[in-house]
Amino acid sequence: MARSGAAGRNGPAMIRAALPAGLIGLIGLVGSATAQTGVELVSRTELRVCADPNNLPFSNDKREGFENKIAEILGKELDLPVSYVWFPQVVGFVRNTLRARQCDLVMGTVSGDGIMDNTNAYYHSGYYIKHEALPLKAAFLDSEPDSTRLDFRIAMGVRPGEPEWRRRINGALEKHRAEVNQVLESYDVPLLDEQGRPVTGPAGQ
């Protein structure tokens, strides 16, 4: 149903005008205090992952993707059960999940993505021609000089202003790098080394 134009433009202003001035001031003080104290609003009882429910081989709601398996590794290290907020990876994915504080970690984001803060990269891949769905069999596409880059370092996404949470995730990734690499290898994820050359042996080696 289409929203009324007048209501869409003026609704928030009308609500704000109806609030007592003292309440508006209190809301502002609470927001300011939260920002100044640097409180990280990350769940302390579960590892809440933002993920696509139908995006194999990356993730699905049956937890069959390689990102699901890596999330389980992190959950065990952090001593937190893994839960999911499912949302298709379309426009609005981050806004409706991570930024809405429905979850605390996005798996498999490009390192340097300005929409989120990033952990350290945990694998290096790129655009490729896929010959089979599962396992992945690929031939990488080479970047032409002065053209768009076709390889990427893949990290995890966290909210800005949560350095302690990012540090914990980085620590778990580093501690379990061998296990993460084994997952990537078991799914035949196409990998590149630090020089951008295809990795032909076990992942990360």
The 10s digit of each residue's pLDDT in 15-53 is: 333 334 443 333 333 333 344 446 787 998 999 999 999
On whether residue 113 sits in a domain, the answer given is: yes
The residue with tokens 């809440």 is: 48
On whether residue 181 sits in a domain, the answer given is: yes
Domain that holds residue 120: 47-186
On whether residue 170 sits in a domain, the answer given is: yes
Q: What is the average pLDDT score of the chain? A: 77
Q: Distance (Å, rounded) from C-alpha 159 to C-alpha 39?
A: 12
Assign 169 to helix, strand or coil.
helix
Q: Which residues of the chain have pLDDT under 50?
A: 1-37, 129, 134-141, 203-205
On whether residue 13 sits in a domain, the answer given is: no
Global pTM reads: 0.71
Q: Say if residues 83 and 47 touch (Cβ distance below 8 Å).
A: yes
CATH code where residue 89 lies: 3.40.190.10
On whether residue 21 sits in a domain, the answer given is: no
On whether residue 200 sits in a domain, the answer given is: no
Quickly list DSSP for 85-116: EE--SSTTHHHHTTTTTS-SEEEEEETT-TTS
Q: Say if residues 159 and 104 touch (Cβ distance below 8 Å).
A: yes
Work out how many domains the chain is built from and give that number.
1
On whether residue 22 sits in a domain, the answer given is: no
Helix (H) or strand (E) holding 203: none
Quickly list DSSP for 180-202: HHHHHHHTT---B-TTSPBP-SS
On whether residue 35 sits in a domain, the answer given is: no
